[in-house]
Amino acid sequence: MTLRVVFMGTPAFAVPTLEAIAAAGHDVVAVFTKAPTASGRGLRERPSPVHAAALARSLPVHTPPTLRAPEEVARLQALAPDVAVVVAYGLLLPPTILAVPRHGCLNLHASLLPRWRGAAPIHRAVMAGDRETGIGVMQMEAGLDTGPVALEARLPIGPDTTTGELHDELSRLGARLAVEALERLETGGLPFAAQPAEGVVYASKITNEEARLDWTWPAARIHDHVRGLAPWPGAFFEADLGGGPERVKLLQTERVPGNGAPGTLLDGMAVACGDEAVRPLRLQRAGRGPVDAEAFWRGTRLRPGDALL
């Protein structure tokens, strides 16, 4: 028996799950994703990664600006889905939508709930220095990531793991978990358990100003902040590189011994922090590609004793 599945997702993170569900033989009756956005030179409209993947499989795609409109509820009802699978869709599902699929709406969420409910669970886990995270299949309800959980898969976070690396691993892991959830749903073997009341933490969106580094922080916090924002949006500092203050993204660091006024460049081109130091390993100037530290320092006038802001 195959299920009639409506898939709802937008970014690259969701693509492996869509492809795995289709490859498993389920009938993907429609794909809902956010509308194309203008980007790049000429501001050409580009479809979302999920949109592009759906078109490659000749799946019908819908890009409504909201799901609150009565016509969207009617559209979903006409599809008669057994289940909706939601992965980083980006639009709110109102109760009228949640009630349509026969088995409800399953959300693939990239954390071990109830820790890191919300928009940026992968970033927040790495930035916080968590040693473990995971991904789970949750029954959606009106609250923000509050629904009961059916399946979870855990994944360790190494001391140098970046958000980008973790994102890719969780995306692949989530695809396998979603297919398993649908297999169990077909046989009635997908039980749900309520989330614990303790340990709730919210993963709010990353703001631009939050990405700025504060060199008074301990080296461990700066290291985690950098890898938690790599490769996007990128932790940053400012420095005079020869033509006035310029923003620089710091994409990779290592913790090293050292002391000095926070933000001061030390011997070996490490940077003094609130305690100890970090050595930049990969950086990116505005409008340029990422480079290793040796190439970066060679292209600036910065020397030990100079200050980063």
Same domain (yes/no): 39, 154 = yes
Task: Tell whether 308 is covered by a domain.
Answer: no
- Give domain status of residue 129, yes or no: yes
CB environment 45-64: b (16+ within 10 A), e (fewer): eebbbbbebbeeeebebbee
The dihedral formed by the CA atoms of 203, 207, 212 and 216, expressed in degrees to the nearest 10: -40
Q: Are residues 48 and 152 in the same domain?
A: yes
**Using CA atoms, how far apart are residues 167 and 148, in angstroms rounded to an integer?**
23
pLDDT for the residue 139: 98
Task: Please state whether beta strands 149-156 and 4-9 pair in parallel, antiparallel, or not at all (unpaired).
Answer: unpaired
Residue 142: which domain range? Answer: 4-202
One domain for residues 99 and 188? yes
102, 243: one domain: no
What is the pTM (predicted TM-score) of this model?
Answer: 0.95
Helix (H, G, I), strand (E, B) or coil at 193: strand
Q: How far apart are CA 155 and CA 169, in angstroms?
A: 9
Considering the domain boundaries, does residue 307 fall inside one?
no
Residue that terminates a domain, selected from 202, 220, 240? 202
3-state secondary structure 38-91: EECHHHEEECCHHHHHHHHCCCCEECCCCCCCHHHHHHHHHHCCCEEEEECCCC
Q: What is the pLDDT along the chain (309 residues), one digit of tens a residue?
A: 699 999 999 999 999 999 999 999 999 999 999 999 876 666 688 999 999 999 999 999 999 999 999 999 999 999 999 999 999 999 999 999 999 999 999 999 999 999 999 999 999 999 999 999 999 999 999 999 999 999 999 999 999 999 999 999 999 999 999 999 999 999 989 999 999 999 999 999 999 999 999 999 999 999 999 999 999 999 999 999 887 889 999 999 999 999 999 999 999 999 999 999 999 999 999 999 999 999 999 989 899 999 999
Same domain, 25 and 167: yes
Can you give the pLDDT at residue 153?
98
Say if residues 201 and 115 touch (Cβ distance below 8 Å). Answer: yes
Report the C-alpha gap between 83 and 60 in whole angstroms: 16
Directed axis angle between helix 163-186 and helix 15-23, to 10°? Answer: 30
Same domain, 228 and 286: yes
Alpha helices by DSSP H, listed for the chain, are 15-23, 49-56, 70-79, 95-98, 121-127, 163-186, 219-228, 293-298
What's the number of domains the chain is made of? Answer: 2
Residue 305 within any structural domain of the chain: no
What is residue 242's predicted lDDT score, i.e. its pLDDT?
Answer: 80
Instruction: Report d(CA 164, CA 22) in Å as an integer.
Output: 25
CA-atom Rg of the chain in angstroms: 22
Four-point Cα dihedral 171, 173, 176, 181, nearest 10: -90
Say how many C-beta atoms besides its own lie within 10 A of residue 39's C-beta. 10
Last residue of a domain, one of 202, 234, 251: 202
pLDDT at 225: 98
Give the helix, strand, coil percentages of the chain, each rounded to 5. Answer: 30, 30, 40
On whether both 130 and 215 belong to a single domain, the answer is no
Name the nearest CA neighbour of 154 among 131, 139, 132, 174. Answer: 132
